[in-house]
Structure 1
Amino acid sequence: MSIRLRLTLWYSGLLAATLLVFGISLYVFMNWNTYADVKSQLKSTSDSLGFTLITQNGQLRSIDLNWESRSQLASIQEKQMYLQLNNYEDGYITRSPNLMQLDDLIIPYPDAKSNPVDGFFTKNVTIGKEKYKMITYQKAIPYKGKLIGIFQVGTFTFNEDKQMSGLRTILIFLSVAVVLIAFTVGLLIARQALRPIERVITATRQIEKGSDLSVRIPEGGPQDEIGTLVDTLNKMLSRLERAYNELDDAYKVQRRFVSDASHELRTPLTTIRGNIDLLEKMWSQAKLESGSGAAAASALPLSSEHFGISTEAISDISAETKRMSTLVNDLLALARADAGYVMEKELLQLRALTEDVARRAALLPRNAEWKVGDLSKLDHVAVYGNHDYVQQLLFIFIENAFKYTPSGHVELSSVRREGHVGWMVRDTGIGMNPDEIPHIFNRFYRADESRGVTVGTGLGLSIAKWILDEHGGSVEVTTLEQAGTTFIIWLPIDFSPRSNSSIMGGTDLDED
């Protein structure tokens, strides 16, 4: 729910509550005031009339109204008041003429045994088939401590009820109308007041979706709280832009340095390795000649001890140079990844590529047995990718399996599911803790670093992850300590027409 709608609902609700309290208060006051006038007239009429008790030999015989004048009855009837005197002694009821004209109506009266008291009462009376509300004021008539009669003055409240009903309707409809109008106007006012915030949201969304931090929030409104917020955000964006540009420049310099350093290091390392290989061959040949005769010994002025030490040193240099060369190649691959290197891709037939990798993997240094499983799921399946990098991807996982499998075997097989094809590399090596899986593709992370089982830089799987991302692939990992690890590498199958024609063309060549 937006702030604009919440604000509108809040003050609309407050206005509705205020109108409700005001309406109820006004209605209660008007209701009390209207019926208070009616009750006042009823009581004054009752008080102006007296009673005549007719007795004989000390015994009550009858009750009659003590009229001050006969003209008073006409005045009372003109005010639409109705009189009724009920004699409990003989059961005789005396009524005013206007009351007798209403279908000989009798006002409901209390029983003598209920000990009625003086006061106002609301009664419902029936005239014909209609029911009407009547307010009455009754006065008990005692004689010698005994209730002998009840005198009632009543009037119908047609006009008052109609007036109060009209007032109630007016209050309800006016309150609803005022709340609706206030809600509509409030939405417009809130929208106008919060328009600068909409500009803030629009500008921040542009920054979020794009990489242009030069976007600024338009100003021009009053210098209120929102204006201060806009000014503060613009200053913050300026600082972020400067910091981002400085960081981006530093990052570009770092990438350029890594790329240049990798390129520069490859050449001397290649030269060193070539020369060391040549020296190893020369020393090996010299060693053979030194054992064949005195003439050869004079040509090689080194003792056998010195000769062995030199050979060992050259071997160590060669091994370290190879390791440095591998590290530089890995750094170069990661530098290309950071620089947004775009691979040149083509349609690849995975069966032939995989068989070539499997053949070459058998020549890698290892302690585990190398097995090649079922590769039939790769038949007549093409992917769109880079041949060299896909081969490197497979070699990374295979070499990684060899490295962490001191005994047992490493097996390569094919897998396929809807829309994807790939390989399963399964080993029976040392495995790892499943909690380490989310980190194994981070640069320089070593799952066995604390155990010191193997050596390495921790860059191989990072490069594999980059190659997979560039090909739209994914990898699944299943592992358990001392129970081996299984990597399932997925690549999307290319179903484009070019892929179909390539597969058909390859099939025709095979048949020929």
Structure 2
Amino acid sequence: MSIRLRLTLWYSAVLAVTLVAFGVAIYLFVNFNTFSEPKARVKEQALQIQVTPSLDFWDRLDLKINPYTIQDQEMFIQLVNYKEGVMRRSDNLIALKLKFPYPHLKEPATKEEGHVHLTAGKYPFVVYQVPIVNPLTNETVGLLQVGAYTGSQVKFLDELRTTLIFASIGVVLIAFTIGLFLARQALRPIEGVIRATNQIQHGSDLSVRIPREGPNDEMGRLTDTLNGMLGRLELTYNGLDELYKAQRRFVSDASHELRTPLTTIRGNIELLERMWLPSLELMGGQGELDGFRNESHAENKEGIVQRTVLTREAMQDIADEAKRMSGLVNDLLALARADAGYEMEKRQQQLLPLVEDVARRAQLLPRSAEWRIGDLKELEGVEVNAHGDYLRQLLFIFIENAFKYTESGYVELGSLRSSEAAGIVIKDTGIGMNSDEIPHIFERFYRADVSRGQKSGTGLGLSIAKWIIDEHSGSVEVTTKEGVGTTFIVWLPIAFQHQSNGV
């Protein structure tokens, strides 16, 4: 429920309660004033009537009214004799064939004097009741009822009550409608705040500002505060964005710049290796032919051989480190492309030949575990939209990672298929991982526990693999257990599927 509707309901409820209280007060006040005059008249008449209890010659109790005490002919008079069970009524009551209801002798109301509202037939009356007491026995023997017709007053009060009810309902409805409109107008700046924040939430344009409308009230000051905050956020965001772009440019440029000298180093090292190895072999063969005629010549040859061996070891170390640095630079370059929004040029191609090519070349990777090529028939006839080189890099990352952490056992390549995707399975029997590590393995530079950290690597391979999978609109599943092994399943959406073998 919106604030606008809640506010409207609240003050509508307050208004309704106020109108009810005000209406009840008006009704009670008018009711009192309307009946005060007839009540006064019937009381005055009742007090003027003289009722004489006496015993007639049959020893029966008789109640007699002195007719000279009746001043108003519009009064309706009824005298009840409880002892004899008889009732005397004025002529107007007899003519209308009406009788006032009266309390029985045993009811407490028979001993109370006062006004009551009664209905005789269908006519309303206000009646003043006076109990008749026998002065000899102090016993209530009768009841005098003097009433006045109040039909016009009752009708007026009914109309007043109806008018108050419907008027209150109408006023509340009108107030609710007007209040809803006013609340909407008053809270319109909040809607502007919501629209602006939604644009910021679903986009990167921090230049959006909330329109400033209305007086300098609380909403106006809130709008100014939010606009100021948005301005500072825009400046900060633009600064960070420029810094981030500069960082990406630096990584990309540094990667490009480092590739050239590293390539040169590796080329020269390989050239030196090719040059030193034949010289050493030639030197060894010629020395054997000459017989190393003197001892100094043998010593010189031994020193040359040692220096040559040390040089070759140094060149080998340099070559290994250059190769490792080249791999790191290539990884950084791939991630820099990912951060820069690089879009791969993909084409539709057969998946099985690509995977078989990777499986064949994986046999040449350094490893201590057995390399198994499982059942790949689920990939037959499947075509995917892919960048071939990056897809090969993706598979090699998972395979090399499996070889790295599987010292014994095997690494197996398999396949799966669903209705919409083809799955490439890389399963190993290596050291496995803790389940808590799985959410982090695709983070950059993340290395798992100490035992896994003893292996060489940059911690960038799986990050690059995740980027390649995302670029191919695929997904990856990971199943692992410490000491048992790990299984990765790379799912790629099927672009086309040939019908073969009854499939």
**TM (normalized to structure 2)?**
0.90
The answer to whether residue 114 in structure 2 is matched with residue 119 in structure 1 is: yes
* Aligned match of 2:310: 309
Which of 127, 131, 136 is the equivalent residue of 1:140?
Answer: 131
Greater CA deviation, 50-59 or 483-492? Answer: 50-59
- Structure 1's unaligned 5+ residue stretches are 508-512
Query: Any idea what SS the aligned residue of 1:108 has?
Result: coil
Contact 1:290/1:296, CA 8 A, preserved across alignment: no
Q: Could you list the runs of 5+ residues in structure 2 that have no partner in the other structure?
A: none
CA distance in 1, matches of 2:483, 2:94: 112
Q: Which residue of 1 aligns with 2:356?
A: 355
Structure 1 partner of 2:184? 191
**Aligned counterparts, 1:91-110, within 5 A:** 91-103=85-97, 105-110=98-103
* Greater Cα offset, 231-240 or 281-290: 281-290
Counterparts of 1:476 and 1:296, CA distance in 2: 66
Q: Distance in 2 between matches of 1:163 and 1:422?
A: 88
Partner letter of residue 322 of structure 1?
K
Q: Which residue of 2 aligns with 1:84?
A: 78
User: Post-superposition shift, 1:5?
Assistant: 2.2
Secondary structure (helix, strand or coil) at the match of 2:356 reads: helix
* Contact 2:51–2:63 under 8 Å retained in 1: yes
Aligned residues: 488
Q: Residue type of the partner of 2:285? A: S
Q: Supply the distance in 1 between the matched residues of 2:114 and 2:395 (Cα, whole angstroms).
A: 105
Residues 101-136 of structure 1: CA distance to partner in whole angstroms, max 9, x if unpaired?
122x3322333344521233344443xxxx444443
Structure 1 residue 216 corresponds to structure 2 residue 226 = no
Q: Offset of 1:170 from its aligned partner?
A: 0.7
What is the distance in 2 between the residues matched to 1:26 and 1:329? 90
Give the equivalent residue in structure 2 for 1:24: 24
Query: Residue 302 of structure 1 aligns to a residue in which SS?
Result: helix
For the Cα contact (< 8 Å) 1:135–1:157, is it kept in 2?
Answer: yes
Residue aligning to 1:12: 12
Q: Is the 8 A contact 2:60 2:84 kept in 1?
A: no
Once the two structures are superposed, the pairs formed by residues 268-283 of structure 1 within 5 Å of their partners are 268-283=261-276
Alpha-carbon distance in 2 for matches of 1:8, 1:262: 64
CA deviation profile, 1:134-171 (whole Å, cap 9, x unmatched)? 44322111111122221112344422322222111111
Q: Against the structure 1 CA distance between its residues 467 and 149, is the aligned structure 2 distance closer, same or farther, given a 3 Å change threshold?
A: same
Q: Distance in 1 between matches of 2:334 and 2:172?
A: 68
What SS does structure 2 have at the residue aligned with 1:291? Answer: helix
After superposition, the C-alpha distances for 1:166-210 in whole angstroms (9 at most, x for unaligned) are 111111111111111112212222222223333333333333333
8 Å CA contact 2:48–2:69 kept in 1: the answer is no
Q: Which residue of 2 aligns with 1:68?
A: 68
* 1:245 CA drift (Å): 1.6
1:433-448 mapped onto 2 (5 Å cutoff): 433-448=434-449
Moved more, 109-118 or 186-195: 109-118
Give the residue type in structure 2 aligned to 1:35: F
**SS of alignment partner, residue 303 of structure 2:** coil
Deviation at 1:372, TM superposition (A): 0.9
Give 1:338's aligned amino acid.
D
Report which stretch shifted further, 352-361 or 223-232. 223-232
Q: Which letter maps to 2:225?
A: T
Secondary structure, counterpart of 1:335 in structure 2: helix
Q: Offset of 1:450 from its aligned partner?
A: 6.2
Corresponding letter in the other structure for 2:229: M
Q: Distance in 2 between matches of 1:322 and 1:491?
A: 31
The code of the aligned residue for 1:244 comes to Y
CA RMSD, Structure 1 to Structure 2 (Å): 2.5
SS of residue in 1 equivalent to 2:116? strand
Aligned partner of 1:403 in structure 2 is: 404
Q: Does the alignment pair 1:227 with 2:220?
A: yes
* Deviating more after overlay: 190-199 vs 260-269: 190-199
Q: Higher mean Cα deviation, 315-324 or 354-363? A: 315-324
Whether the 8 Å contact between 1:85 and 1:150 is mirrored in structure 2 is: yes
Task: Check conservation: 1:378, 1:421, Cα contact below 8 A.
Answer: yes
Aligned to 1:44: 44
Letter in 1 for 2:38: V
Superposition pairs of residues 467-486 of structure 1, within 5 angstroms: 467-486=468-487
Point out the more displaced range, 52-61 or 474-483. 52-61
AA partner of residue 93 (structure 2)? L
- Normalised to the residue count of structure 1, the TM-score between the two structures is 0.89
